[in-house]
A = this chain, B = another copy of it.
Amino acid sequence: MTKEREILITEVALRDGSHAVAHQYTVGKVLAIAKGLNEAKVPYIEVSHGDGLAGSSLQYGFSRTNELELIEAAVSVCDTSKVAVLLLPGIGTVKDLKQAASLGVKMARVATHVTEADVSAQHIDVAKSLGLETVGFLMMSHMASVAQLVEQAKLMESYGADVIYMVDSAGALLPHEVTERIKALKEYVGVEIGFHGHNNLSLAMGNTLAAIEAGATRIDGSIRCLGAGAGNTQTEVLVAVLDRMGIQTGVDLYKIMDLAENVVAPILPKPQEITKDSLVLGYAGVYSSFLLHAQRAAEKYNIDSRDILIELGRRKVVGGQEDMIVDVATEIAKESKSQSLTS
């Protein structure tokens, strides 16, 4: 009489995958993909700029189409799937959230850096008052200790979040690290726990299975790996793997496979693979936005950009501290010069 395990999948190709297509989604493409996801019975479909509501900007990249039109398009073809949005306080506002809710969105995911959950209080509160299912989304979670992660998750829970996600934004976590973190969250947090993985170390699927084994019940996937960096846990593969394990997702395997092959693959500018750049981001555990800055600094100081990124990872430098990149580059250049003088 044991209850079968069930996992609810959120498809992020129309949000995280926006990075992979340089925010060039059109209403037509969103209609085609959302329609297919709805027919395959994917429970949640996230639609937003890659950096969340109102992310369209010079800094984060301009969207080709206003995301409200894309959200409206997705809602219009979904009768079983629920449409979700991502919001990063500081980029998106309460007003953006209200607009999204008025278009028929059913879930809001409020995302902060893993040590900054306190900035999510107001937005979680508003999302709840709008009647939305509300997720607290702790990004770059490899940068926090297990204790810090639990503490931050409990903050989001106290603000009213229905679900807390541990987000491996840089694809930097190893399976045993995922296990340890999800187990701690399950032990100390009362709401459902989710996991969002990236594939920079080729571990999105392995980490996802470790998360499920440790008790996560919400999982993000991106069809055909359509996500930032090396992409996310590949949704159609996840559905196949969970089916093999006897875990219910409610998603139609053949339909999601066909959608990946016939609709999503053709719109990708290039297939998602683990390149030198995405690998070094996962290995160093740093923000993808550091990459270009590090490469420029490396060229200027005639050093290897990987040395800069790895040192930034060691120092746990976060977004907004981009000025550190040149400091680190200068230090490495000095050190390598003094080494070559003494050798």
Among B237, B260, B279, point to the contact of A257 (Cβ < 8 A): B279
- Distance between A303 CB and nearest chain B CB, rounded to angstroms: 12
Q: Please give, as numbers and ranges, the residues of chain B lying within 8 Å of A272 by CB-CB distance.
A: 273
Q: Which A175-207 residues have C-beta < 8 A from chain B?
A: 175, 199, 201-207
Q: List CB contacts (< 8 Å) of A225-269 with chain B.
A: 225, 233-234, 236-238, 240-241, 243-245, 253-254, 257-258, 260-261, 265
20 A-B residue pairings within 8 Å (CB atoms):
A174-B245, A175-B206, A199-B202, A201-B244, A202-B204, A202-B205, A203-B205, A203-B241, A205-B206, A225-B273, A234-B274, A237-B279, A240-B279, A240-B282, A243-B283, A254-B306, A257-B276, A257-B306, A260-B276, A261-B276
- Please pick, from B257, B270, B306, the residue contacting A271 in the complex, using a CB distance under 8 A: B270
A209 and B175 in contact (CB under 8 A), knowing A201-B240, A240-B283?
A: yes
Contact yes or no, A273 B273, CB < 8 A: yes
Q: Which residues of B contact A258 (CB under 8 A)?
A: 276
Seen from chain A, the residues whose Cβ lies within 8 Å of a Cβ on chain B are 174-175, 199, 201-207, 209-210, 224-225, 233-234, 236-238, 240-241, 243-245, 253-254, 257-258, 260-261, 265, 270-276, 279-280, 282-283, 304, 306
Determine if B209 and A205 form an interchain contact, defined as CB atoms under 8 angstroms apart: no
**Nearest CB of chain B from residue A155's CB, rounded to whole Å:** 29
Name A280's closest neighbour in chain B (CB-CB): B257
In chain B, what residue has the closest Cβ to A200? B237
